[in-house]
Amino acid sequence: MLMLDEFITQDIADIVISDFPGDGVVGNAIRVRQEGKLQPYPLAGTFDLEQELKLLAKKSGVNPGRNLPQTGEYVQKGHKIEVSFVPTLAGGSWAIHINHTDRSIPTLAELKVPLKTRAAIWQALEDNRGLILAEPTILYSVASQLEGDLMTIEDRARFILDGADQYVIKTGWASLAPQALKVAIKRQPSQLFITRLDSKTLAESACDYAMTHLVLASVPTRVIEPVEYLGKLGVPDFLLKHVIKVNAYAASTL
């Protein structure tokens, strides 16, 4: 199924196809959840949505013709695909969840992280303090190697980390993430993992905590230069220079 192959490749977890009447008109019928919000998704002209939904129904065991709410699931490319269908006057609405957490966590070598960056990461792990900046998949790889009290604050759980206290915020990130970080800091875990630093409160708190503990963190995907971005959020330059031990975003292969 080419459409879902694209969503799997882009690491998209939730897709909603609303009131598709089967007349070939796509428009904004497809929405995907990105950064906690459902947003219209422009489907490429190479996809035939009606055919895609027929394949989806066949693979999941859902039969829209029964005109009843139904659920089903199947496995595609190693990912568990969960499907829900609700009949409507216009045709029906589909909700699709791609479970990315069933995947095994790749190693830093498999992710082609440069040797110099890997060495810096291992040094930070040995020191068990400081801030490691990297895209989420790299950080999950690092986190899977940690021993100790690890807490996470995630916009979604891309992988399951054995032994970690994972706190996932699917909606309301802007208001709930700072509260979750405040609670986490009170608990004083030896390691902290935050999937998205996107506010002054989160960034400053994470950097302050990295003075004495190990912190793994990512910035929003649209950010080109993360250190400059954190500075613009309001984190003092002297603090950034002191706590950032690894900036994997700076590696040319990433």
Q: What is the pLDDT of residue 36?
A: 67
Dig out the tokens for 153 from the structure. 């604050």
* Domains of the chain, CATH where assigned: 2-100 (3.30.450.90), 115-250 (3.40.50.300)
Torsion angle defined by CA atoms of residues 228, 232, 236 and 238, in that order, rounded to the nearest 10 degrees = 20
pLDDT, tens digit, for every residue of 43-62?
666 677 788 888 888 888 99
CB 239 within 8 A of CB 231: no
* DSSP string computed for 184-244: HHHH--SEEEES---SHHHHHHHHHHTTTSEEEE---TT-S-HHHHHHHHT--HHHHHHHE
In which residue are the tokens 């422009």 written? 42
The pLDDT-based confidence of 234 (bands split at 50, 70, 90) is very high
Q: What is the pLDDT of residue 45?
A: 61
* DSSP string computed for 70-139: EEEEEEETTEEEEEEEE--TTS-EEEEEEEGGGSPPPPTTTTT--HHHHHHHHHHHHHT-EEEE--HHHH
pLDDT (mean) for 22-27? 44
What CA–CA distance (Å, rounded) separates 82 from 156?
Answer: 16
Q: Which residues contact 242 (CB under 8 A, 6 or more apart)?
A: 211
pLDDT, tens digit, for every residue of 130-156?
999 999 999 999 999 998 899 999 988
In which residue are the tokens 């394949």 written? 55
pLDDT (mean) for 80-85? 87
H/E run at residue 245: strand 244-247
| Buried/exposed 30-53: b ≥16 CB within 10 Å, e otherwise | bbbbbebeeeebebeeeeebeebb
Which 3 state secondary structure label does DSSP give 246? strand
Q: What is the pLDDT of residue 102?
A: 56
Name which of 2, 23, 34 is nearest 15 in CA terms: 34
Check the CA dihedral 191-193-198-201 and report its sign: negative
Dig out the tokens for 145 from the structure. 């190697």
The pLDDT-based confidence of 22 (bands split at 50, 70, 90) is very low
Neighbours of 198 (CB within 10 A): 21
pLDDT (mean) for 204-212? 97
pLDDT (mean) for 115-126? 95
What CA–CA distance (Å, rounded) separates 109 from 107?
Answer: 5
Which 3 state secondary structure label does DSSP give 58? helix
What CA–CA distance (Å, rounded) separates 234 from 203?
Answer: 8
